[in-house]
Structure 1
């Protein structure tokens, strides 16, 4: 297996030293440099350092990892960036890949998965750690299995006209637009809308729409 040269970017010295020891214990890994922040990493790259992989944290006080990903992807496209972070929210993961990262790991990842990720990315692949991948899969399963609580409009004493107006409100139409579409006065539409709010116990129109979706009155 060919040697993989790694630039390690981590602002916590103890964590950085531990990561360095773990990585260098692998027969085909070589940590060519370890630095405190993204600015130091870029300086080394501009001075001619040519790692295969930049393994970086995101949350650093000076020149954070997200900016580093963007700069490396733009200025050194042959170098692949892998994120190793405590941040597990979808926004950070998506933004990292959008900026050019090739891998994303959370810091509680097992050593063998870290090694696999680095080797996989070094060969040209992309990788999202198992924990985050399964979280996304579970969310997808939950969404697919979600079924709203179906309410009978008659139980709320909703009239056919009120249901018609509710559907148009759900489509984003204003009172004036609904009045023109149904050939009603604006005041009449406002009256029906208020009846809908009162009958469903909603505070306002957005709350009414949310109630209608959750209870199967709108799709």
Structure 2
């Protein structure tokens, strides 16, 4: 089955460019385009795409507000945020709104389509340079923390806390299994439990929880 993609950007040329990249893939197709957030919300309700390529900065209803509404109404729809600006606050805002990933618009076509595939499969995608700066400049610098972050961590078992820390450090399931001497299936079960307990929809949100809860200490 094809991955159905909705492209949202207030610039026509950008929409067409992303659309051409997506349609050139044998496993994807563009099912619609939107030039602003309100239209994106309506089209998601009508088309139920698998993945939304969502511009962050748009007049009227911006990408953050549109993502919140889309993921609340249709949790199965995966949102991949795209922005020309690498401000860390934008990354956090989109992930908290329910986006499954955040990529800069200057990424290669290959990285874009791989991002679409990953979020469609349930993984999270944050460009390494953005995630590194997010950790180094925003969370560590005392950016806004969700109330009760440490209380969230207290709900986890010791093993689950270890898994959450590993997720926060960017380890894959295979790497976590190797580091903790667990089987991949056990790691997968732990991750499912962690997500449920901390209220994270995916790995991207789990990374934020790990730092907000103080499970990862700057400099480690």
TM-score, structure 2 normalization: 0.59
Q: Which has the larger radius of gyration?
A: 1
Deviations 1:130-169 (A, max 9, x none): 33134346669x99xxxxxxxxxxxxxxxxxxxxxxxxxx
Q: Which residue number in structure 2 is paired with residue 37 of structure 1?
A: 36
After superposition, the CA RMSD in angstroms is 2.0
State the shift of 1:102 in Å. Answer: 0.2
Q: Matched residues in 2 for 1:73 and 1:55: separation?
A: 13
SS of 1:63's equivalent in the other structure is coil
Q: Which residue number in structure 1 is paired with residue 27 of structure 2?
A: 28
Where in structure 1 are there 5+ consecutive unaligned residues? 144-219
Contact persistence 2:103–2:126 (CA under 8 A)? yes
Contact persistence 1:38–1:64 (CA under 8 A)? yes
State the shift of 1:29 in Å. Answer: 1.0
Q: Matched residues in 2 for 1:137 and 1:17: separation?
A: 33
Q: Which residue number in structure 1 is paired with residue 179 of structure 2?
A: none
Of the candidates 111, 117, 120, which is equivalent to residue 119 of structure 1?
Answer: 117
Counterparts of residues 67-216 of structure 1 (less than 5 Å): 67-136=65-134
Q: Which residue number in structure 2 is paired with residue 196 of structure 1?
A: none
Give the aligned length: 140
Quickly say closer, same or farther: Cα 1:130–1:111, change in 2 above 3 A: farther
State the shift of 1:84 in Å. Answer: 0.8
Higher mean C-alpha deviation, range 35-44 or range 117-126:
35-44
Higher relative contact order (CA 8 A, sep 6+): 2
SS of 1:133's equivalent in the other structure is helix
Q: Matched residues in 1 for 2:75 and 2:127: separation?
A: 23
Q: Which runs of 4+ in 1 moved over 2 A?
A: 133-140
Where in structure 2 are there 5+ consecutive unaligned residues? 142-220
Q: Matched residues in 2 for 1:32 and 1:66: separation?
A: 21
Contact persistence 1:4–1:30 (CA under 8 A)? yes
Q: Matched residues in 2 for 1:116 and 1:36: separation?
A: 23
Q: Matched residues in 2 for 1:92 and 1:19: separation?
A: 21
Q: Matched residues in 1 for 2:137 and 2:40: separation?
A: 36
State the shift of 1:96 in Å. Answer: 0.8
TM-score, structure 1 normalization: 0.60
Q: Matched residues in 2 for 1:69 and 1:35: separation?
A: 13
Q: Which residue number in structure 1 is paired with residue 13 of structure 2?
A: 14
